[in-house]
Structure 1
């Protein structure tokens, strides 16, 4: 255990700032960088994605890389480094870092959550651990979107929905645009809606 503590301290003192991306006020360490550094530290390290029985399959031998519950989805990753095994759990989140509701997660969401979970598990061995020290601090006050921002979002939804041949309600559900938006939520929703409008308008022109 003394040997593990030495190795933990060595990884914990590494400056990983050049490999960190920031989104919604949170810091994310590159998965590829973590994999690279763990391999350097322990070429024999192993990674295991925990699988769970499929709740929708009649075949008991079908397993999925996520746990599906009424509250949402969870992924679990197990790392063995320096002959020590640790596990970490992570909810599957949307672009606002909110848990995705049951039935709304895509394979991309699951894959992204698995990579993030692996990075977070690596912090238990010291790599990037300091990034999480302030994670459990008090939440920032919720800054509601202004009436103008909400109106802009609604207008974009009205413009994009018919281009996709779906209802406005379906579009909002598909893009996880809730009724209560923060200013940051509205700003990001507008960017995604604008991108969607541009994409579908371009494709419709090409089809003519």
Structure 2
């Protein structure tokens, strides 16, 4: 075990009465942090790194960050910190001010001191993913409710489609749809529609809606033969009694 472990020494310093709260985050004053380090290690020093142009911050053209280092007992710990606004969101490069940079440098140096042990516990957990369990639980509940509502709606639609009123509506809609096809061979190319028509014809037959069955079947055969019926029957266009079995 290393004797006189300076990290343990700094890590034992109680900083609780110096912690400041802002926007839900905990901060330690740079002046206090540096003072505590220097009291115990007078030879400690810090470095504010500059880019190739001599600026005291770095940028990728979109946002910026600072790089600082604190050396204690000959050991340097470096801290990179993005330049952020009061909401802790990165500030776009074009609006970064010298005040923003200076404030970020102070915060970065404080965190570099924490890497040596001073107030490190203050930052515990800040690099962990946010706990979204509550939000995820709500999302799952909403998703389950939507799924339940969808199932109930589908059930009601299925029940309506099987009723006389629903069957009548589907028959009329299908007749008008197919009758309105103007492009040659359009019906023959629509395999999905052909399947739906086949199902509807079976339902009409089983419900003994003979006249409706024959009218739709005739129209389908005409479309398959690429011929055009004269006109849509009046009982399809106008509201009236559903075609009954003959």
Q: TM-score, normalised by structure 2?
A: 0.51
Q: Which residue of structure 1 aligns with residue 118 of structure 2?
A: 127
Structure with the higher fraction of residues in helix conformation: 2
Are the structure 2 counterparts of residues 121 and 95 from structure 1 closer, same or farther at C-alpha, using a change threshold of 3 Å? same
Q: Which residue of structure 2 aligns with residue 14 of structure 1?
A: 13
Deviation at 1:138, TM superposition (A): 3.2
Aligned counterpart in structure 1 of residue 77 of structure 2, from 73, 81, 86: 86
> Paired residues, what number?
133
Unaligned runs of 5+ in 1: 55-62, 144-208
Q: Does the residue aligned with 2:93 lie in a helix, a strand or coil?
A: coil
**Shift >4 Å, 4+ stretches:** none
Q: Which residue of structure 1 aligns with residue 151 of structure 2?
A: none
Deviation at 1:112, TM superposition (A): 0.2
Q: Which residue of structure 2 aligns with residue 26 of structure 1?
A: 25
CA deviations on 1:94-116 (whole Å, 9 max, x unpaired) are 01000111211100000000000
Whether the 8 Å CA contact 2:13–2:118 is kept in 1: the answer is yes
Structure with the higher fraction of residues in strand conformation: 1
User: What RMSD in Å do the two structures reach over aligned CA positions?
Assistant: 1.8
Deviation at 1:140, TM superposition (A): 6.0
Whether the 8 Å CA contact 2:57–2:64 is kept in 1: the answer is yes
Unaligned runs of 5+ in 2: 136-246
Answer 1 or 2: higher relative contact order, Cα 8 Å, separation at least 6. 1
Larger Rg: 2
